[in-house]
Amino acid sequence: MSKENDIQLHIRQTLKELFGFTDEQITPEARLYEDLGLDSIDAIDLVVRLGEYAGKRIEGDAFRKVRTVQDLYDTVAVVLEAA
């Protein structure tokens, strides 16, 4: 399994554990706030969990640009590459 697939799998699992989403809801183009209904507190919980996975804090500036599940994949991949 590639690193990209590992990241996607982990993010999908995290979204399911934290918020109870189904596989059908977690598509790359799903918008976190509009489609999945996350709020600012949910986003903080998500950033903390993904930071733990990456072994590095995900900065707020990087996360502010995240709008879709695909953006999550891309942001975590960048953080992992920088670690």
More confident residue, 26 or 3: 26
Domains and CATH numbers, the chain: 3-82 (1.10.1200.10)
What pLDDT is stored for residue 47 in this prediction? 92
The tens digit of pLDDT for each residue in 11-69 reads 999 999 999 999 999 999 999 999 999 999 999 999 999 999 988 888 888 888 899 99
**Closest alpha carbon to 60 in 71, 79, 41, 47:** 47
Average pLDDT value for residue range 69-82: 91
Would you say residue 83 has pLDDT above 70? no
pTM: 0.90
Ramachandran angles phi, psi of 37, nearest 5° = 75, 20
Q: By the 8 A CB rule, do 28 and 69 touch?
A: yes
What pLDDT is stored for residue 2 in this prediction? 77
